[in-house]
Amino acid sequence: MCAMPCPPLRRECPKLTQEEFDEAVRTNIEDFDMEAEEAVKAAVEEFTLQNYDMGCVVKTAAGKELANHPVALATVAISEAKTNEDKAAAFAQLQGILITSGAEGPEKLQEVGAVALRSGSLAAVMRSIQAASGMDAKDSAQGPVDASLLLAPLSLAKQLMAVSLDIRDSFDDVKGAETVMHLHKQHPDHMVLQAELARMAECACFKEEQNKEQLMLAGYGLGLAELLQQDPRQLTEDLVASASGVLRAVCTADDDRPPTSKAFQHARLLAHENQALKTLLSLLKGIMAGWKSSSSEAHSSAGAGAAPPAPKPTTSPSSPESSAPTVSAMLACMRQLAASEDICKSFSEEGGVLTILALIARLHSKQHRDVVRSGLGALRQLSNSDGTKLLLAAHDAPTTLLQCAASHPRDEDVAELVLGVLAAITLRQPAIATQCAEAGVIDWVTECLTDMASSPLVCRQACILMRNMVVRNPELRPAFLEKGADRLVRAAKTAHPPNCKDVGSAALRDLGLDNYSS
């Protein structure tokens, strides 16, 4: 069964207001004769000890007097700009401040974010977008909208929301989802604007459950999926990547504040009612078909039985290197959409699993690391389905996966993902465990525990894989033990108790060893 985790419950830190912080600073100055800088430092230390969230606080002695702060001035300039030239200059001014602050470090960026929040910077930018697009009733009589004038404020809105969760929290207050859907419908054929709009929407969704829900309720998720169903020759890879980012985001439960997430429902809606997975798969095949063949990257044993390739976008680059960001985004989206057994089965029947396996087989080298990681992540999710396990085994996936791992020696991220896929396909599958042993997995697992012993995630997955291979195949135990599995697993348990104590004990137990809990 394909599973999608829900976010854990978290006890939220109380939020500190600017007024409370300013009062503490004033008290330190007036009652304890502190200098301004010392008073601010003492207040920060006090509220930190009390576990307050100070993300919305400007940590200066003049917290209330921020009218002359560059961010506040730029926000006023955006609100008061009348001409397109004035607006462009104001957008550039605020964007420059954000870029400079980011280069100065997280503390400076947090300060700028706090001022932007208090100054209503996102609201000012969104109002400008709404006015320029004719979204307001009073502007309904204006002429055709110049989409190029919307690109800069959309990018700026994304940059503002990237600064802090508190700014993203205000997205709904400024009619964010409504604005996104208005522009989506207003410019259906402007692929550059659609891509910029999608990037802003994806940013708004990061760890923000309410924004995900509002965008889906507005119809944006289904609208994007339908947009991707156009003739692929009309699409751009930039749009495909950006749209994939949004669809992935609304299907990801990454906000730990609400008790539940609708990510699973979103995934089922997009996969079943709008065939988003099928659409992405068709586009992926089209991109792959556009690559120049390379005998050094070919792998004859993978990809058999995949459906015929779709037409590629006319703007599709001719090399895997230039397509990497788009392909990685699509694979990450596929991973999140594969949220249930029936979705996994349907995707597999369309040739999706074999297409991803063929992609990994072809691009297993170091230069394609990001694509490899995304592909492995998708296979790992899909491999929770028993049908996928059997299909991968039938197409010699263990050999392909080991070849991939060998191309990324001592790469902990790649190793952890390969181990994860192998652990998934061997769970309750003794025949596949035997196949893995014959492919050389036993040697490689023990090498991982030796060469990457400092990685808790690698060690954990190695223990899980080892346990899955021997629990129903006792004949494999001697080979593991001859390679020092007893010592290696116990070392992992000692080095990484939170990650390896439980799975390490299970591995030792199923290896037939005594004192497996010690």
> Is pLDDT above 50 for 363?
yes
In the prediction, which pLDDT does 305 show?
40
**Range in 14-18, 269-273, 450-454 with the lowest mean pLDDT:** 14-18
Q: Does residue 284 sit within a domain?
A: no
pLDDT band, residue 31 (cuts 50/70/90): confident
Q: Does residue 344 sit within a domain?
A: no
Give the residue numbers spanning the domain of 159.
10-135+146-174
pLDDT band, residue 318 (cuts 50/70/90): low
| Cα 484 from Cα 278, distance rounded (Å) | 45
Q: Helix 456-470 crosses helix 412-426 at what angle (to 10 degrees)?
A: 20
> Is pLDDT above 60 for 494?
yes
Distances (CA, A) of 414 to 176, 320, 378, 380, 422: 37, 19, 13, 12, 12
Distances (CA, A) of 129 to 71, 86, 120, 147, 213: 19, 14, 14, 10, 22
CB-facing half-sphere around the CA of 44: CA atoms within 13 A: 15
In the prediction, which pLDDT does 272 show?
86
| Cα 68 from Cα 115, distance rounded (Å) | 11
Percent of the chain residues past pLDDT 90, beyond the cut: 73
**Range in 12-21, 291-300, 384-393 with the lowest mean pLDDT:** 291-300
Q: Does residue 101 sit within a domain?
A: yes
Helix (H, G, I), strand (E, B) or coil at 142: coil
pLDDT band, residue 55 (cuts 50/70/90): low
The residue type at 318 = S
Mean pLDDT of 331-337: 98
> Is pLDDT above 90 for 64?
no
**Range in 130-134, 201-205, 207-211 with the lowest mean pLDDT:** 130-134
Average pLDDT of the chain, as a whole number? 89
Instruction: Spell 101-132 as b/e; 16+ CB within 10 A means b.
Output: beeeeeeebbbbbbbbbbbbbbbbbbbbbbeb
Q: Does residue 2 sit within a domain?
A: no
Helix (H, G, I), strand (E, B) or coil at 53: strand
Phi-psi region of 131 (alpha: psi -120 to 50; beta: other; left: phi over 0): alpha
Domain closes at, from 155, 174, 193: 174
| Cα 256 from Cα 251, distance rounded (Å) | 14
Q: Are 489 and 507 in contact, with CB atoms under 8 Å apart?
A: yes
Phi/psi at 15 (5° precision): -85, 135
| Cα 249 from Cα 251, distance rounded (Å) | 5
| Cα 51 from Cα 46, distance rounded (Å) | 9
Q: Does residue 67 sit within a domain?
A: yes
Q: Does residue 107 sit within a domain?
A: yes
Phi/psi at 226 (5° precision): -70, -35
Size of the chain, expressed as the number of residues it contains: 518
DSSP-assigned letters across all residues of 360-392: HHHT-SGGGHHHHHHHHHHHHHHTTSHHHHHHH
| Cα 102 from Cα 110, distance rounded (Å) | 9
Q: Does residue 47 sit within a domain?
A: yes
Helix (H, G, I), strand (E, B) or coil at 163: helix
Mean pLDDT of 102-125: 91
Count of structural domains, the chain: 2
Q: Does residue 391 sit within a domain?
A: no
Q: What does the pLDDT look like over 418-433, one tens digit per residue? A: 999 999 999 999 999 9
Percent of the chain residues past pLDDT 70, beyond the cut: 89
How many Cβ atoms sit within 10 Å of the Cβ of residue 33? Answer: 9
Rg, C-alpha atoms of the chain: 26
> Is pLDDT above 50 for 297?
no
In this prediction the pTM is 0.85
